[in-house]
Amino acid sequence: MEDSKIVELFLERSEQAIRELSGKYGSACFRVAFRILGNREDAEECVNDAYLGVWNSVPPQRPDPLRAYVFGVVRNLALKKYHENTAQKRNSFYDVALDEIGDVFPSADSPEQSADSEKVAESLDRFLGTLGPKDRIMFVRRYWYSDGIGDIAKRFGTTKHYVSVRLSRIRQSLKAHLEKDGIVL
């Protein structure tokens, strides 16, 4: 079923919308949550919570594209659950990805920095538009989907070292781009 038809089912408050959403994106949503959480039960819970979140937000939202919207909801819920689960621990592969990118993005500790989050997001979107397809996919796979370096290397048929070096250079370029846009790091 097309995404627009699924959104229409949500707007009509038809329970069929959740079944269609689950059938179309359920396994991909599970992979996103599981990649972050590393726990099957927690990932399933996040996916189910995401369906409820979409149900509660459509209407008034009318997501387009639906896939990105749903993945964003799943990812945010998984990150929240991840932080709850690891509040006192630092032992996950996801921590490594967060540490890698943490030096590039400003912290949101102060209200001024939180208010600038939209500016940071816009700058990041512009930066991603300057990357070639391979670099953009590597960046998104690593820092959005939390793929491991080895998984990305397999996807591109290259070495882990190559991927690590490319990601390092992309982060350096991103840092320079953010500074050029006046974003204080």
Q: Between residues 163 and 104, which one has the greater pLDDT?
A: 163
- Looking at the fold, whether 38 and 111 belong to one and the same domain comes out as no
Q: Does a structural domain hold residue 154?
A: yes
DSSP 8-state assignment for residue 158: S
Q: Does a structural domain hold residue 185?
A: no
Rounded mean pLDDT of 119-137? Answer: 89
Provide the CATH number for the domain around residue 125.
Answer: 1.10.10.10
pTM value > 0.85: no
- Looking at the fold, whether 62 and 99 belong to one and the same domain comes out as no
pLDDT in tens, 25-73: 999 999 999 988 889 999 999 999 999 999 999 888 888 889 888 988 9
For 96-116, give the DSSP string: HHHHHHHTTSPP--SHHHHHT
- Looking at the fold, whether 29 and 101 belong to one and the same domain comes out as no
Print the domain residue range for 169: 93-180
Q: Is 92 in contact with 86 (CB distance < 8 Å)?
A: yes
Q: Is 50 in contact with 18 (CB distance < 8 Å)?
A: no
- In the chain, how many domains are there? 2
- Looking at the fold, whether 56 and 116 belong to one and the same domain comes out as no
CA-angle at 99, arms to 94 and 102, nearest 5°: 120
- Looking at the fold, whether 77 and 99 belong to one and the same domain comes out as no
Q: Does a structural domain hold residue 14?
A: yes
Which of 38, 61, 85 finishes a domain?
A: 85
State the Cα–Cα distance between residues 105 and 98, nearest whole angstrom.
10
Query: Residue 102: its pLDDT value, please?
Result: 62
- Looking at the fold, whether 78 and 101 belong to one and the same domain comes out as no
Rounded mean pLDDT of 108-125? Answer: 62
Q: Between residues 15 and 95, which one has the greater pLDDT?
A: 15
- Looking at the fold, whether 31 and 110 belong to one and the same domain comes out as no
- Looking at the fold, whether 72 and 143 belong to one and the same domain comes out as no
- Looking at the fold, whether 117 and 157 belong to one and the same domain comes out as yes
Which of 37, 53, 85 finishes a domain?
A: 85
Provide the CATH number for the domain around residue 19.
Answer: 1.10.1740
Rounded mean pLDDT of 159-165? Answer: 95
- Looking at the fold, whether 38 and 103 belong to one and the same domain comes out as no
State the Cα–Cα distance between residues 149 and 97, nearest whole angstrom.
10
- Looking at the fold, whether 19 and 72 belong to one and the same domain comes out as yes
